[in-house]
Amino acid sequence: MAEPAVEKLLQDLRDERQLRLAAESRAATETDKARVWRQRAEERSTRIAELTEAGSGIRRLLGRKPAPQEHGLIPTRSGEFARAARKPFASFRVGCAVPDAHFRSLQATFDAVELDGGPDLDFIVVHPSRWAETQRALERVDALTPIVAWGDDIPAELRAAAVAVFDRQNPLPLTFEIRPPRYGIEVPVSVRQSEIEYPSPDLIQAAADGTAVWVDAEPEEALGPLASLVAQRWAYRTYHPRRFGERILDEVGLVHHDPLPRVAMILASKRPELIAAAIRQIGTQTYRNLELRVGLHGFVMTDEIDQAIRDAPMPAEVHELSSELPLGQILNDLIDTTNAPLLAKIDDDDFYGPAHIEDSVNAMDYSDCRVVGKATQFVYLEEDNATILRRPDQEGVEIAGTLNGPTLVFAREVWEQGPFPYRPRFVDVLFERAARANGYGLYATQRWEFCLMRTSSDHTYPGSSSAFLAGSDPLWPGLDVSRCVAPDNLTGLYGPRA
């Protein structure tokens, strides 16, 4: 297909989508003409499908990876812990006399160099197998430089010289590579309960990669994806260079910054009665480096909101904003009040599990995408008093479609290049389109730690319920948000040892 034809096809596609968006908007707001506009929207959808079919291969012509036809998903890029650009404590210079595996972990975390007696070392790490050859090099190092002993069977002389010791009694696990989950590809692994309660690094690596892990015998229902999420979370808490470096620096007694990037949670609401409960729910997050920005859209501070802000476990600010401002401008104004490198958009009435932010930040790391959120999601339908799974099979992948707005977590650089449009509605979709146009991938995290609350007076999805629910799977009657939360470890997933 020639270049002008490609451009014309793309422009036609953009025009048709804009016309469909306008038709859907009018269908939602002009009830007396809803049927006519719905028909026009459906006609536009048919035209879009025709253009898409006519333009098969257009992504290839533009240098983009084509999405699989059956579900519209793009396979994610691989990621790993030990990226030089992501060393969490690169400002600390470490002299190392350790085996290769230990050195790789130190190199992924600090500015690590082989110990040769050079100056300006913040501390030294010595393995027992290298102690004899290290003593001469130590004569050329500042005597006040702290020494860390790391390994088993530490000789008494090294133990006496060290300010921190990591051995069998105080183990320091090596960091290891973690990749995005690959559900359904790995061969299931059967292990004993004791191996789940006291997992080896190999088991956690396998589960974090997406290997389905069964206990003793295969259960009736596959728990591979859930086990993968739990293992990934555990791996980040235990084996990630951030945690690895923190443990060393804390035991050595060196002051350091928090290696977790700060996340600003952005909440804009027109409903004062929901704000306090939303703030209290945010306070349960396991991610520790958080701040909160609340925008009161068209109303003033109440005593209840003021008390919730005072009780919040993270720094929080409230801003009163005019009801005449569009939602997109309010979001941008709130983001302007923080310099946090990561941002999370949240709603006032949805359920957020304790690990929502933690899992999202981890996903941003291992997926190498700067925008993450839910595509597959739990949804509670108030009118039906039932919980469903919307958009199943769109999790753990880089996605070609859109993510759910209330679950978006993204890097500040994405917003700086394409802020929220100054519109009252559809700001999430347009923000995601701008991010993709600027070259950023969108990664769909696992379904857990979130439940969308769709009420009879829903303000977010005023369009057709049938369109919203198309392709969803029924799950259970009523609302039980505990079933939307993943356990904290593999023991919690499979139960305690008998």
Question: What's the fold here for domain 263-494?
Answer: Spore Coat Polysaccharide Biosynthesis Protein SpsA; Chain A (3.90.550)
pLDDT of res. 225? 67
* Sequence spans of domains, the chain: 3-66, 87-166, 189-239, 263-494
**Rounded average pLDDT over 13-28:** 68
**Rounded average pLDDT over 286-308:** 92
Closest CA to 268 of 334, 355, 316: 334
Query: pLDDT tier at 239 (50, 70, 90 boundaries)?
Result: confident
Tell me the one-letter amino acid at 466: S
Strand partners, 95: 113, 124
- Can you tell me the distance from the alpha carbon of 161 to that of 165, in angstroms, rounded to the nearest whole number? 10
- Can you tell me the distance from the alpha carbon of 42 to that of 294, in angstroms, rounded to the nearest whole number? 38
pLDDT of 64 > 50? The answer is no
194 Ramachandran zone, left/alpha/beta (phi>0; psi -120 to 50):
alpha
- Can you tell me the distance from the alpha carbon of 203 to that of 113, in angstroms, rounded to the nearest whole number? 30
pLDDT of 364 > 80? The answer is yes
- Please write the tens of the pLDDT for every residue from 88-124: 899 999 999 999 989 999 998 999 999 986 678 999 9
Residue 233 CA, distance from chain mean position:
11
CATH code of 87-166, in short, is 3.40.50.2300
pLDDT of res. 89? 93
Q: What percent of the chain has pLDDT over 70?
A: 70
Count CB-CB contacts under 10 A for residue 60: 11
Contact by Cβ (8 Å): 224, 212 = yes
Closest CA to 412 of 343, 331, 358, 361: 343
Strand order, beta sheet including 351-352: 351-352, 450-454, 377-381, 386-390, 473-477
Q: In this predicted structure, which of 133-137, 318-322, 408-412 has the lowest mean pLDDT?
A: 133-137
- Please write the tens of the pLDDT for every residue from 417-470: 999 998 888 899 999 999 999 999 999 998 999 999 987 665 444 445 666 677
Name the 3-class secondary structure at 139: coil
pLDDT of 28 > 70? The answer is no
pLDDT of 154 > 70? The answer is yes
Higher pLDDT, 468 or 477: 477
Pairing of strands 189-191, 213-215: parallel
**Rounded average pLDDT over 214-230:** 59
- Please write the tens of the pLDDT for every residue from 174-198: 887 666 665 544 455 555 556 656 6
- Can you tell me the distance from the alpha carbon of 268 to that of 247, in angstroms, rounded to the nearest whole number? 38
pLDDT of res. 190? 59
Please state, rounded to an integer, the average pLDDT across all residues of the chain: 80
pLDDT of 286 > 90? The answer is yes
pLDDT of 2 > 70? The answer is no
- Can you tell me the distance from the alpha carbon of 135 to that of 233, in angstroms, rounded to the nearest whole number? 40
- Can you tell me the distance from the alpha carbon of 237 to that of 247, in angstroms, rounded to the nearest whole number? 11
Higher pLDDT, 137 or 184: 137
- Can you tell me the distance from the alpha carbon of 147 to that of 143, in angstroms, rounded to the nearest whole number? 10
